Structure formats: structure tokens, C-alpha cells
Structure 1
Amino acid sequence: MVSVQDLRLPDGRVLRVHDSGGAHGTANAGADDLDGLGDFVTPGDAAPARLTVLWHHGSPQTGALLEPLLVAAGQRDIRLVSYGRPSYGGSTPLPGRTVASAVADVAAIADALQLGRFAVMGASGGGPHALACAALLPERVIAAACLAAIAPIDADGLDFFAGMASEGALRAALSGRAAREHHQATAEFDPASFVERDYAALEEDWSALGADVGEASAEGPDGLIDDDMAFVVPWGFDVATISVPVLIVQGGRDRVVPPGHGAWLARTIPHAEIWACADDGHISILTECAPALDWLLAHS
């Protein structure tokens, strides 16, 4: 069961936070609006967790914890915490945010939940934000796992757009926000972005993902546009400075974030390990979430 609560920050913004509370957390009906960090509460009657993992959602999603991830975490006595990035899922916008902006928000959540050390995990657009926490919160982040994570736009030696089926959004972002907004208003999804295994995953174990993406999209495009704008400018940290263990999980048939991105991250980040899943695409790679949680446990 999952608690959903709104964390009010000192700058007046709100972050909507989702917390499994460990294996036996309690659920709240809707989000409670809490004033200030000191008043934030954790789910009651929660069994002690072996590890807390802070999940960074993809683009676009609401930040809600989806069933396959909750089941895998519950089976391992892992506490999952997630939140909607600014402009997603009830969280307040943060104009001009960078990838590194996530670090202060995560630190505030960790303080409010009285988390000591924890692991981070992210998929797709959440991957860079997980890496930001690994780089800039080394005293708190134990390890990081990233699935289908995009590399920096200025990655040395990487042909950033090679093999990317839906490159138009990021190319537009390079031309500025107005161009990215125009692209959002006129572009259509290219079915070739996903491979057969992706569509099968969306119909089976990860069917809830499609609904969550739809909910996030219905709230407006600002979160997605803000993510893309953050991806095509300096991230605010260098992945080569990450000192904690990092797992990169990459699908060999991914046409949204091509394999070259995962390979670049793995060879650039110290202490990184890569799982190259030759037959997986951008969505089907999520079937590796459960093994990735095992990896985080082994490195905690």
C-alpha cells in the first residue's frame, strides 16, 4: 500500500511524494497537504525495510509507483519512495530547472522522511536525475541503477541522435523552448519508436505504464518539455565524478534511447556496470527492474 502526500518546501513549491513505507506500508486516500518539512509523516505500522530506493520516473509520468515495481520491492522488503518532478503529477512547476535541480528536491524529501542513506533508481528520463543524486549526494546515496537512461547532449565521442527514432523533440529543444512547444503541438507519436517486445510489455506486466503516461499527458506538456529542455543544456554535474556504484541497464533494440547512450555512460562513470539486454527495447527493459533491485541490495 502506498502513502501519497504533498511536501511543501520553504520556497512555497509542493512536491507530491509517494511512499510504500516498506513491505507493509499504509495507504492514504488522496494527498495530504503538509506545511513544512517538520510536519511530514511516514506511513504507520511499516515493517523495517532492508533498503530504501528513491525512484525517478520517466518522461512523461506522474511519479506514482506502478504495480510491477511495488510487487518487486515488496518481495525484497525494499521501501520505495517516488515523487513527481516539477510540473508532473501534482508537483509545482520550477521554470528553468536543470537535471541537477532534482538533487535539492530529493534532499528535502529525504530530510522530511528522515532517511539516512538510500539508493536511487531511474528509467528513461528519470535516469539522468538519478545520476545527479549519485553525483551530488554521495554522502547519502549508496548506489544507483538506471534503465534506458539518456546520456548528456555534449557527451564526448557519442553520436547523440544515431539510432534515435523520435529525435524531433530533443532537436527542437536545442532551438529553444518556443520550438519545443511548437513541436509538442504538432508532432505525432511514431509507432516505430517501440519494438514488438515494448508493445507486449505495455499489454502485459507494464500495462499500468500506459495509463500513467496518459494521466501525466492529460495534465499538460510542461513537465515533458521541461525535462527535454533540461536534457539539452549542461546538466549541472559531470557523470565522471560519480563515486558510488552505478548499474546501467540498456536495451539493444531501444530506439528512444539508443544503445550508444548506455555504452557511453558505462564507460564514462567510474565503478559502473552495464547489463546489455540485446533483445529489449525502451519499455521491455523495465522487466529488469526486479533484478536491478537485487543489484542495489547487493551494493547497499
Structure 2
Amino acid sequence: MSSLQCSMDNLKPHLLTLPDGRNLAYAIYGVPLETEGTVPTFFFHGYPGTHHEAQLLHESAKRRCVSLIAPTRPGMGHSTSQPKRQLLDWPSDVMSLADHLDIARFAAIGVSGGGPYVLACWQAIPRARLVAATIVCGLYPSHLGLKGMMFGPRMLLTVAPWAPWLVAAGLSRGMKSAAVDHEHPEKFEKLMDEDMNGRPEVDRAVYAANEGGFRTIMVESTREAVAGGGQGPAWEAKLYGSDWGFFIEELEADGRLLMWHGDLDVNVPIAMAEKASRLIRGAILRPVTGEGHCGLIVHKADEIIESLRKLCVT
């Protein structure tokens, strides 16, 4: 068994009981929080996903003395559903977890579908607490334009706001049964493999080679996210394509929000990131030539962690 698989098998999520009685599942990667000089950083996973995705940055975080606190969002994995939740409900969960762990100042990283949650936290959490943030191949508001986006994500953002029940039914029928079939885990892996067949070559190559454990991690993260059914992921998709409850034009970044994006990304075309970076005052866009949606976090892990750490210590 690989060291990656050992660490994933041994790392069970913690559960925090929130003020409203919900459970919030989370895990900690990188260095322990009690490590001297560590930079506590919240990691917000993609869609649909769980805390497992933070494993992609685990080794880079260890090398740079960063603690990655990775919560799983409501309705996925072991985190309790939150009826009628909105994007701006998430900062309260993050603050509850930060207070529970005695973290006064922290950073945040959001990958893909975790990007909107970084922006929600940036809007709602004071800079005295959330001091810097990074978005990696992140999703931005749909009104910025979906041109160049793959058919699947584009349809999800279009349908989910109006018919989340339809998305939930599709996910439950297509993925849940395979996700909970523990006697035949290869069934779910096959579904994931087939989904990747429609992606660009640059993404398929990263997945097929399991670079940085990408395939192993994403299979486990997605499997856990949909094992409880499609309702949680479907509601999340609804939030992505709906009114976010704030305008990104309201945000002030002051050079402390970095946006990494590959120029070959078709899950979230770089044009969305370019428009968003112009609307968020002081945001810094870091386009990466030759990268798609999957490889960016693998190939640029050290730079992503290092650049965020520098923002936190200056």
C-alpha cells in the first residue's frame, strides 16, 4: 500500500457540533496546529467533494509549515445537511471551527467549487481574522459568462438553480449506488474514469498518471461526497448558479487575494477569472500557460502554498 493511501486510510475526520446542532466534519493536513510558526489555512474543497481533497497540498504544506484545516461542506460526507443554506452561511461555520481550534488569524484556499466560499468568507469575515486567500481554478458568478465551458458544468449551472431535485435524482441514480458498493469499489472508479474521458488531454494525463495522487484522492473525495445521496451536492450546484447574496464588485483585496488559473481550463474558462480579477479591487490573477483544471494544483502546489504563506507573514 502506498504512503498516500496509508495516510488517507488513517486520517478519519473530526466532528464539530455547531451551535445549531449540525455536525461539521473536518481533517487537518500539513503540520499540526500546535507546530511553532505554523500558518493556519482553511482549505475549501471542490464540487462535489470532501476534506480528502486537501491531501493534494499536504506535502507542500508540510514543507512550508502550514496547517491545512479542511472542513467538508453541509450535505456531503459526514457533514450534516443545512436546510436552505446560502453561500453566506458558510463563514459562520468557518468561524465556529476557527474558534473551536483557538485560531485567531488564518488564511483560506478554495479549489474549483471552493472558490465561491473563499469569496463569501472574504466578504463576511474581518481582515483581522482572515488575512489572506487564494483561489485555484475557481468558479465565479455565472453572469460573467459561461462561454468556453464544458457542456456538463454549463448545464449544471443552468439547471440546478431551477430544478435541484432533478440534479439530486440524477446524482443519486448515477453515482450513489456505486459509491456505497464497498464490495466492488471498482464500479465507482469506473464511473470517475469514464467522466474523465470527456476532458481535455491535459487533464486526462494528470488523472491517468495519478500525478500527486490526484486520481486516488479525487475518487475518494467524490465517493464520500455522494455516498449519502445527491441532495447535498444538488443544493450546492443550485447555489453556484444562483444569486450569491453579495456582489464580487464589493470586495476589496488589497493584494491579499491571489487567483491561480490555467489557460486551458474548460471546467471554468480563464475568461471568468480574468473578468472577476478586474471586478475585485486589488485581486491578483496568476494565469498559468498550458494548465487545465486538474493539473494546476498538482504542478503548482509549492508555489501556491509559498505565495499564500508570504502574504500571511508580511
TM-score normalised by the chain length of structure 2: 0.81
2:58 is the alignment partner of 1:80 = no
Q: Structure 1 residues 182, 92: closer, same or farther in 2, change over 3 A?
A: closer
Contact 1:122 1:130 in 2 (8 A): yes
Residue correspondences, number? 276
Q: Does 2:222 match 1:213?
A: yes
More helix by share: 2
Distance 1:258 1:50, change over 3 A: same
Shift of the alpha carbon at 1:183?
4.7
Q: Are residues 1:51 and 2:62 paired?
A: no
| Higher mean displacement: 231-240 or 106-115 | 231-240
CA contact (8 A) 2:160 2:235 kept: no
Q: Could you tell me how far apart the structure 1 residues matched to 2:12 and 2:67 are?
A: 12
Q: Secondary structure at the match of 2:13?
A: strand
Report the CA distance between 1:271 and its aligned residue. 1.2
What is the alpha-carbon distance in structure 1 between the residues aligned to residue 198 and residue 134 of structure 2? Answer: 23
Q: Distance in 1 between matches of 2:62 and 2:196?
A: 34
Match of 1:129 in 2: 117
Percent same amino acid at aligned positions? Answer: 26
Pairs within 5 Å for 1:187-266? 191=196, 193-202=198-207, 203-205=210-212, 206-207=214-215, 208-244=217-253, 245-266=256-277
Alignment equivalent of 1:272, drawn from 275, 283, 302: 283
Query: What is the aligned partner in structure 1 of residue 3 from structure 2?
Result: none
Structure-2 change in CA distance of 1:174 and 1:87 (3 Å) = closer
Alpha-carbon shift at residue 144 of structure 1 (Å)? 0.9
Q: Aligned in 2, Cα 1:4/1:183: closer, same or farther, shift over 3 Å?
A: closer
- Residue 163 of structure 1: CA displacement? 3.0
SS at structure 2 position matched to 1:174: coil
Q: Name the aligned partner's letter for residue 176 of structure 1.
A: A
Q: Is the 8 A contact 2:43 2:109 kept in 1?
A: yes
Alpha-carbon distance, 1:204 to partner: 1.9
Which amino acid is 1:169 matched to? L
* C-alpha distance in structure 1 between counterparts of 2:149 and 2:158, whole Å: 14
Match status 1:15 vs 2:24: yes
1:276-287 counterparts in 2 under 5 A? 276-287=287-298
Asked if 1:143 corresponds to 2:148, the answer is: no
- TM-score w.r.t. length of structure 1: 0.84
SS state at 2:160 partner:
helix
Kept in 2: contact 1:126–1:149 (CA 8 A): yes
Residue 125 of structure 1, CA deviation: 0.6
Deviation at 1:65, TM superposition (A): 5.1
Q: Please identify, of 212-221 and 79-88, the stretch whose mean Cα deviation from structure 2 is larger.
A: 212-221
Shift of 1:298: 1.5
Letter in 1 for 2:60: A
Separation in 2 of the partners of 1:65 and 1:165? 24
* Contact 1:86-1:92 at 8 Å conserved across structures: yes
Offset from partner CA, 1:32-70 (integer Å, 9 cap, x none): xxxxxxxxxxx7xx3224311100001111223543311
Matches of 2:167 and 2:224 in 1, distance apart? 21
- TM superposition shift of 1:265: 1.5
In 2: Cα distance, 1:251 partner to 1:129 partner: 20
Unaligned runs of 5+ in 1: 26-42
Query: 1:98: how far off?
Result: 1.5
CA contact (8 A) 2:165 2:231 kept: no
The alignment yields a C-alpha RMSD, in angstroms, of 2.2
The equivalent residue for 2:91 is 103
